[in-house]
Chains A and B, each alone.
Chain A
Amino acid sequence: MDDNKIVGLYLLRDESAIIHTAEKYGKRIRALSQNIVADYQTAEECENDTYNEVWRLIPPNEPREYLYPFIARIVRHISLDFCRKRNALKRQAYIVDLSEELDECIPSSFSTEEVIDDIFLKEAINGFLKALDSEKRKIFMQRYWYLDEIKSIAKRFSMSESNVKVILHRCRQMLKKYLEKEGYTV
């Protein structure tokens, strides 16, 4: 079933919408979550929670043209939450590592407590991503959006791991510069 029809079912509050979503995107959702939480059972839980959340969010949202990315964003959020809340998940350390990597992007003038308006931050992140060439953007997104491991990224792009690390390092430097340039300083 195409996305337009599935979203239509959600809008009609037809519960078969969830079944169709699971049929069409279940595997991808689970894989994405599995990639983040590194635990099959937890990934299944995340998948189920995602369906509930999608049900709650459509309507008012109508992601007819971008249903999968819409769901992917939700499952990412839920999976990250699971990682942080459940100490038993070994993945926690990995998430901490990723957070530390991104610490490099934060301009030194930022206070740790400072909360940046989501609208400005969204502009900054997307402006930065747009400035990257496609390959670097994909690598950056796979690392910090899909939380993929360096090794997998290297394999996917037929690069050495060092090469991926260097690209990510440069991207982080660029994001930092971008944030500074766009005035995200106090």
Chain B
Amino acid sequence: MRGKELLDKMELADLEFVQEAEIKHNKKSGFIKWTALAASLLLIVAVVLYTRDYKKPPVAEIVTPPIMAVDPPIADQPTLPDPFGDVEGQDIPIGGGDTRFMRLYVDEVYNIAIASDIVGREASDEWTSSFLELSAVEQEELPTLYRIINDLGIPKEAIIKKNEEYGEYASLTDDMIDALYEDIDTMKMKLRSPLALYHNGEIYTLDGLKANPMQLSLIPLEVIDDYLDYITDYCTSEGEIKYMREEIESVRTLANDESLKFNSNYGVGGDGNSFFYSPLSEMFSAIEVSVIRYVGEDKFNDWVVELNERYEPASSLMEYANPYSVAMHFGITKEEMQELMSDSELIELIYSGDESAIISKYVNEFTIVIGERFYSPYWLYVHSIEDYKKAGITPDMLIDSKGIRYTFGLEAHAAKVFEDKLSKFVGHEIDIRGKIMNPKNKREYYIPTEEGTYDLEWLTGYGRTIQDYEKVGITVEKLENLKDEIEFYNETSTYEFIDSCIHKMKE
């Protein structure tokens, strides 16, 4: 018997399985995040098991891989212990999806059965309903067991007692129980998944990094490399490297990708980063096809490549491809250009030879101009303070430039690097990260009521509900005023949260 026959004989599969697996072409909605779905499904599994036989701990029915008796990779812990133990001879677990590279925390703390057993079915169901109403991001943020324990105030003693009652079915270790009663930061450290990366107080997973490469810009390259090496070793020992290598390497490539400096969600409907790169308006960057054909596509392309190699980022008209430089470089006469281009005003300007006039007409508001040279935000980003000085850029010029008050969708890590350099040059703190809602600026926005003053930190705090708002006298009107105030932050989850609360309160 061979694979060919087995492929044929698969037709012996029961028809119920055939029907179950039928390929339907109505795909899942794009907005459903797989991670949220996984979390929800897991919760449902836990609840279903609990409902089915609440006296027997359901954890025993979910076969999960054993917790590795090692510390997961931590950025400041470069020596990676052997996490694999003796994998030979282990049974492959049946049941459960493959969530190893998806989960932030160890499997055991996603199972709320023990908590449900303590608080009773009604309270557990009620909690589950409210949990499922949370956004996907909120659902993923904390282990479900940690959340239910905190939300319902389940004492540690009750968990210890119930866990002991489970006897051989007990899944929580003493360390895990201790960690469930720690503050969030400590809990994260202690309960992180062995296959997740812990860095700077945050947990990252391989699947998460791949799905949201912007996270990579928050982690130093060497840390990512260590982590990916660790995952490679793990997959090698599991005999799965041939399936995972491509994925691991794709994350490594992404981590090295220069474009990661930017947030891909930025600039919907166009290139939101163009002002960062382009010193002059896009109107002046476009070269008509007729001109390119006239000089010859190959010659033109070679020239562009050479310019990019020599001058990227450009700081004068002749250092990048534009209608002026192409005319000058290839010696196109004004008469020839009139045959090739329709914009007579531009032709006049080009052949006036006045580079300053061209620059002042087409320069964009984010670029610093000094005579016939110009300095885009990108130029400032890649050059040193010494280069600024050599170019004649003064701190005052920088302070006046709009380019240092705008993020251009730079990711947090890149923005900070830029910010630090600018701050050092001008001699005081420069904040280009206005779009990033941090605890500091969260405290700058608040709602005063008769009960007290409630800032965004409080309003968007963990577990906050509209009932809390109502208790302290926060009305829809007040929230709407606050929403107007934070309009600038309309891309942040904070803004979305306030917006959703307004909707809920109106309902």
Contacts and interface: CB of A to CB of B under 8 A. Distances in A.
Contacts of A9: none
Which of A132, A135, A162 counts the most chain B CB atoms within 10 A? Answer: A162
Contacts of A13: none
A42 interface: no
Nearest to B248: A162
By DSSP majority rule, is chain A's interface helix, strand, loop, or mixed? helix
Interface stretch (B10-18, B133-141, B170-178, B467-475): B10-18
Interface residues of A, number: 67
B28 A95 contact: no
Given A115-B1, A138-B20, A170-B92, A158 B9 contact: no
Contact of B1 (A31, A104, A110, A160): A110
A73 B18 contact: yes
A25 to B, nearest CB: 11
A38 to B, nearest CB: 14
A165 B243 CA distance: 6
Given A133-B95, A156-B23, A145 B10 contact: yes
Nearest to A163: B98
Interface string B237-264: 0001001101100000000000000000
Interface centre among B7, B15, B240, B246 (most CB of A within 10 A): B7
Nearest to B62: A133
A105 B12 contact: no
Interface string B392-432: 00000000000000000000000000000000000000000
Interface in A25-72: 28, 31-32, 35, 66, 68-70, 72
B7 A99 contact: yes
B201 interface: no
Contacts of A156: 23, 27-28
Contact of A173 (B15, B92, B101): B92
Contact of A116 (B1, B3, B247): B1
Contacts of A165: 243
Contacts of B345: none
Contact of A68 (B11, B12, B19, B34): B19
Contact of B15 (A35, A73, A169): A73
A141 to B, nearest CB: 3
Interface in B315-345: none
Contact of B240 (A76, A77, A166, A177): A166
A22 interface: no
Contacts of A116: 1
Interface SS of chain B: helix, strand, loop or mixed? helix
B90 to A, nearest CB: 11
B94 A155 contact: no
A135 B128 CA distance: 23
A93 interface: no
B9 A121 contact: yes
Interface string A97-140: 01111111110001110111010011001100101111111101
Contacts of B20: 134, 137-138, 141
Contact of A69 (B2, B10, B15, B97): B15
Contacts of A95: 7
A145 B21 contact: yes
Contacts of B16: 66, 69
Minimum-distance CB pairs A-B, first 8: A141-B21, A102-B3, A69-B15, A103-B3, A165-B243, A158-B34, A162-B247, A122-B12
Interface of A: 28, 31-32, 35, 66, 68-70, 72-73, 76-77, 80, 95, 98-106, 110-112, 114-116, 118, 121-122, 125-126, 129, 131-138, 140-142, 144-146, 148, 152, 155-156, 158-163, 165-167, 169-170, 173-174, 177
Given A76-B11, A110-B1, A122-B9, 17 more contacts: A68-B19, A69-B19, A70-B15, A99-B7, A102-B4, A103-B2, A103-B3, A112-B1, A116-B1, A129-B17, A133-B97, A141-B13, A145-B11, A159-B34, A159-B98, A163-B101, A167-B98
